[in-house]
């Protein structure tokens, strides 16, 4: 099996946040905690303003800094190569929160541990898709073998954007079909 990860068609995403809500529901998260987040960006000036969205969860990086820096082994690679978290081994030290360049691990104060997207491994083990993938109204999200996703959706996909860290840091398992606006360096800090 090759490297597994998400494909995201940013050109079709309408920013409805259904994926975000489906994930929150699936993981029974408290108010204020999200394992998938739809970011919004804006740019340009009248008469040519624009906006774009970026739906992102854990990128299940091949060289994950959260795994490397975890002192207990709670953050680890699963058998399929995805980045998994063992809540019983977690001591809530937050090193993974600081080490992840994508700000993915979320500290869950009430439990004094972290949590994050597990790629809906239980659903996948049952032959189903992750909850966010099936919830997307525009069918923008897929999860699977990255080589197969590349073969299906083309070679003009990217793994980083001006608003994201360099992919060379962690080798993220994330393929984006980018909107042209999202490749514009000028507006990278104007998140709304
Ligand atoms: S908070 Fe838990 S998962 Fe994160 S680095 Fe510490 S022990 Fe590991
Ligand atoms: S794969 Fe599951 S846990 Fe991960 S973002 Fe999607 S719904 Fe959330
Ligand atoms: S559900 Fe689909 S269209 Fe809606 S914000 Fe998420 S990725 Fe975009």
How far apart are the C-alpha atoms of 41 and 82, rounded to whole Å?
A: 28
Atom from ligand 2 closest to the CA of residue 116 = 3
Residues 6+ apart with CB under 8 A from 190: 41, 42, 43
The domain ranges of the chain are 4-60+118-187
Contacts by 26-30, CB closer than 8 A, 24 or more apart: 26/120, 26/131, 26/132, 27/115, 29/115, 30/108, 30/110
pLDDT, one tens digit per residue, over 142-178 is 999 999 999 999 878 999 999 999 999 999 999 999 9
pLDDT 10s digits, 113-147: 999 999 999 999 999 999 999 999 999 999 999 99
- Kindly report the protein residue whose alpha carbon is nearest to atom 8 of ligand 3: 13
Q: Residue 113 Cα, ligand 1 centroid: separation in angstroms?
A: 7
Q: What's the topology of domain 4-60+118-187?
A: Alpha-Beta Plaits (3.30.70)
- Candidates 38, 36, 39; CA nearest to 26 is 36
The pLDDT tens digits for 52-104 are 999 999 999 999 999 999 999 999 999 999 999 999 999 999 999 999 999 99
pLDDT computed for residue 187 by the predictor: 62
Which ligand 2 atom sits closest to the C-alpha of 36? 5
């Amino acid at each position: 099996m090759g490297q597994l990860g998400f494909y995201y068609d940013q050109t079709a995403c309408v920013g409805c946040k259904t994926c975000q809500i489906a994930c929150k529901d699936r993981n029974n998260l408290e108010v204020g905690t999200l394992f998938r987040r739809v970011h919004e960006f804006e740019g340009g000036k009248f008469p040519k303003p624009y906006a774009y969205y970026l739906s992102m969860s854990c990128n299940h990086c091949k060289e994950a800094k959260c795994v490397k820096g975890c002192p207990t082994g709670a953050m680890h690679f699963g058998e399929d190569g995805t980045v998994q978290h063992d809540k019983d081994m977690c001591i809530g030290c937050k090193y993974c929160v600081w080490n992840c360049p994508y700000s993915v691990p979320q500290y869950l104060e009430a439990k004094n541990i972290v949590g994050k997207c597990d790629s809906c491994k239980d659903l996948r083990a049952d032959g189903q898709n992750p909850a966010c993938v099936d919830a997307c109204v525009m069918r923008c999200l897929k999860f699977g073998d990255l080589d197969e996703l590349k073969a299906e959706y083309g070679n003009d996909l990217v793994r980083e954007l001006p608003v994201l860290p360099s992919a060379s840091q962690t080798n993220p398992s994330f393929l984006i079909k980018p909107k042209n606006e999202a490749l514009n360096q000028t507006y990278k800090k104007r998140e709304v």
